Amino acid sequence: MTDQHSNNEETIEQRRMLKEAAEAFSEGSLTVNRVRELRNTQPGYSKAVWQEMAELGWMGIPFSEELGGLNLSMSELAIVIEELGQHAAPEPMIDAIAAAAGCINYCDHEGLKKTLIGQIIEGQLIPALAWQERHTALDVSAIQTSASNADETTTLSGQKYHVSMAKGADGFVVSANSPDGLALYWVDASAGGISLDEHLMADDSFSYTLTFNETPATRLSTSADATAALQQALDEANVMTAAYLTGVCKKTLQITLDYLNTRVQFGKKIGSFQALQHRAVDLYVQQELAQAALTDTLAVLEHNPTPTERSIAASRAKSRCAEAAKLITQQAIQLHGGIGYTDECDVGLFVNRTLVVAPQYGNALAHRRRFATLSPSKTGSDDALAGRAVPEISEDQDLNALNDDDFRLVVRDFFEKHYPDELRNPPSRLRWTEIKDWYMTLSRKGWVAPAWPREYGGMGLGPAKMLIYIEEQERYGIARAPDMGITMVGPLLIQHGNEEQRAKYLPKILAGEHIWCQGYSEPNAGSDLASLRTEAIDNGDHFIVNGQKTWTTLAQDANHIFLLVRTNKDGKKQEGISFLLVDFDQPGITVRPIRNIAGHEEFCEVFLDNVRVPKENLVGELNKGWTIAKALLSFERIFLGSPKQSQYALQRLQVFAAANQLFDDPGFLDKFTTLRLDVADLEAAYSKFADIVKRGETLGPDVSLLKIWGTETFSRLTELAIEAAGSAGGIKGGHPAGAEKVDILSNFYNARPATIYGGSIEIQRNTEYTFY
């Protein structure tokens, strides 16, 4: 409710301390047994606990110091409310503080505001918001309750649904139509003319339908229309509901994982069964997406958004967190088996709490639809850098010295001016003859090896700038050249090679003379790469290599290959693997292209029959190649889950849908909006890991969640595009879409291997479960 920026150490420390205090309080006072004891009671929560929270200052978090509050932001309030969610706490922090007190705070009856907010902060007064008159409506103006004035006395008449825990409230904030527009009123709970119709909810709390019959009320808003005040409070209540549900997700998943790792069946812990591991990982992905959406939305609230921006962000967070909580709590029952359906299992408390909390202020579907209405898809750019001047730089300038925005502009300007339009976003991987000119353009510019140190002919970019460089390549649709020499061999030799190897190979990679391919996978060693069988036998001053490599990208264009080979069969399979550099220009090497289902020959098999490799081509120590291979992949892992593929597929689907009036179909619009939100949350999750890279830190195994969600989202987008095209979905080439053409099949084909290469999503799920 106040504008507090979160990019300073004092704020970070303040939030850390608040989180620790909330955790300590919750562990001591918000036990699960307490929740069971409060079921089917009035008011349904503990007023003693409420008072304790008030004494901790939590009721005053979002209010100004002038009102007696702490003058903090919604981010701090979310910390506390997320902790309440982790304990299924029924205390009405969302309803009383974010919703009802929020309305009071945004109204302009200053005297009444100060009195009421002061009592709320002290824990002496608990308000409730009565605004909803239809079960599914989000439109705050869709009301019939009316206010009338007679002899300077205002009375209200009408009915309100879904007023939580009204019997425990000391008063109500009520929306009503007044002669000059929608207004908000304060109604004391003891006022005459109020009747309550009680409804027992899934979690054994109570919700009420309130009927007002000429009930005395005091107007909170003196201005003509209080719609803006009510809408802001509801938006913030939705964000706080998202925070609560994020807490529900975390606790429910933790309970479930603990069970998987203790329950024994068939002589094994059930958490060792891959089917259950994969289900659990999918729940973890949902949890992390919920956290990412919430974090993004709280950042929006901290930077003075417009009302529309705020509502869009609130609907995005509520939609994601409600869906995640529903999925995690319901799947937790399945993963627990029969015990999960019993009341003695704590999971049930979170299931029932989610059934009540998730639809408050609008369920996930309603918020997806509001998101679509408030944020219609655009084909144009809303880039914040659009129109900014490109800074001038010298040829030998260290680009790391530029700030990130200026560096992005410099890179973007060069790409847009020099990359051929006809090669943008190609439907398949380009061959060397097609992309060679662009490679040489980068080489002449000195930009072909952005991550290499400058002393070796690279740009010397740090992690943050390297990330921007790759993002701009993806943004402009720049095709990937046969770049294994740049991304793999060069960094390998710089870190693990000797001076002779660096002098021999690095200049020729930069000059485009040596084109490399990767010899990792084998017919029976794909995701399980350590099971490779290609063998290198010591033969004096050279090795004799025999074996087969497969899925070798564009090997038909390469003149060199780097190989993982087995040089020792003793010990663990990860041991005894070495790393060799091999020249194709010799007997015994056969390359056979593999035709894929799209009709392209992107991959190859490489057969090695008594191939002689000089020992000087061994990189690093003998039998230590596995360590080198893993190090090569550490930086690339984040890009396996880059949102750019999905962003491009979403944009092309949007162009096609707009040209064919598909957004007039509510069914298609719902599916499209769901995928828009999936991409937005992928972007948010990606940002978390990108920040780790920017800080120069090492990515952990949890980065696998990007690969899982990113490639599956890409696949879903391409499948919806084919569905949307109807009988034309199987046509190769571009589909007419206004002034453009959209190649639907190419995206579909490109999405198929995306879930496989770099470690299949099934293996990524195994990795993720082990990490978590």
529-547 pLDDT, tens per residue? Answer: 888 999 999 999 999 999 9
Report residue 633's pLDDT band, with 50, 70 and 90 as the boundaries. low
CB 84 within 8 A of CB 244: yes
* SS3 assignment for 228-286: HHHHHHHHHHHHHHHHHHHHHHHHHHHHHHHHHCCCEECCEEHHHCHHHHHHHHHHHHH
Q: Which of 636, 697, 723, 740 is catalytic?
A: 636
Report residue 151's pLDDT band, with 50, 70 and 90 as the boundaries. low
**Rounded distance, CA 693 to CA 699, Å?**
7
**Cα-Cα-Cα-Cα dihedral sign, residues 240, 241, 245, 247:** positive
Instruction: Decide which of 628 and 215 is more confident.
Output: 215
Listed residue (719, 629, 735) closest to 668, CA to CA: 719
Strands (E), 392-534: 516-519
Listed residue (356, 346, 357) closest to 256, CA to CA: 346
pLDDT over threshold 90, residue 571: no
For the chain, the C-alpha Rg in angstroms (whole number) is 30
Stretch among 95-99, 111-115, 355-359, 384-388 having the lowest mean pLDDT: 384-388
CATH fourth-level superfamily of 637-771: Butyryl-CoA Dehydrogenase, subunit A, domain 3 (1.20.140.10)
| For range 383-406, the mean pLDDT | 86
Q: Tokens for 57?
A: 């200052």
Plot region of 628 (φ>0 → left; ψ -120 to 50 → alpha; else → beta): alpha
Rounded mean pLDDT of the chain?
Answer: 92
Listed residue (293, 297, 196) closest to 246, CA to CA: 293
CATH class of 510-631: mainly beta
pTM: 0.89
Query: In this structure, how many other beta carbons lie within 10 angstroms of the beta carbon of residue 378?
Result: 10
| For range 552-576, the mean pLDDT | 92
pLDDT, tens digit, 9 for 90 and up, residues 214-255: 999 999 987 767 999 999 999 999 999 999 999 999 999 999
CB 168 within 8 A of CB 43: yes
CB 77 within 8 A of CB 62: yes
Catalytic residue status for 636:
yes
CB 313 within 8 A of CB 296: yes
pLDDT over threshold 50, residue 6: no
Q: Where are the domains of the chain?
A: 510-631, 637-771
* SS3 assignment for 739-759: CEEEEHHHHHHHHHHHCCCCC
pLDDT, tens digit, 9 for 90 and up, residues 752-764: 999 988 788 998 8
**Rounded distance, CA 254 to CA 772, Å?**
10
Q: Tokens for 546?
A: 């025999």
Stretch among 474-478, 513-517, 588-592 having the lowest mean pLDDT: 474-478
**CB burial readout 423-453, b (16+ within 10 A) else e:** eeebbebbbbebbbebbeebbeeebbbbbbe
% of the chain exceeding 90 in pLDDT: 76
**Rounded distance, CA 583 to CA 559, Å?**
6
**CB burial readout 209-243, b (16+ within 10 A) else e:** bbbbeebbbebbbeeeebbebbbbbbbbbbbbbbb
Q: Return the SS3 of 449.
A: coil
**Rounded distance, CA 220 to CA 105, Å?**
9
**Rounded distance, CA 351 to CA 250, Å?**
13
Instruction: Decide which of 687 and 98 is more confident.
Output: 98
Listed residue (551, 560, 554) closest to 428, CA to CA: 554
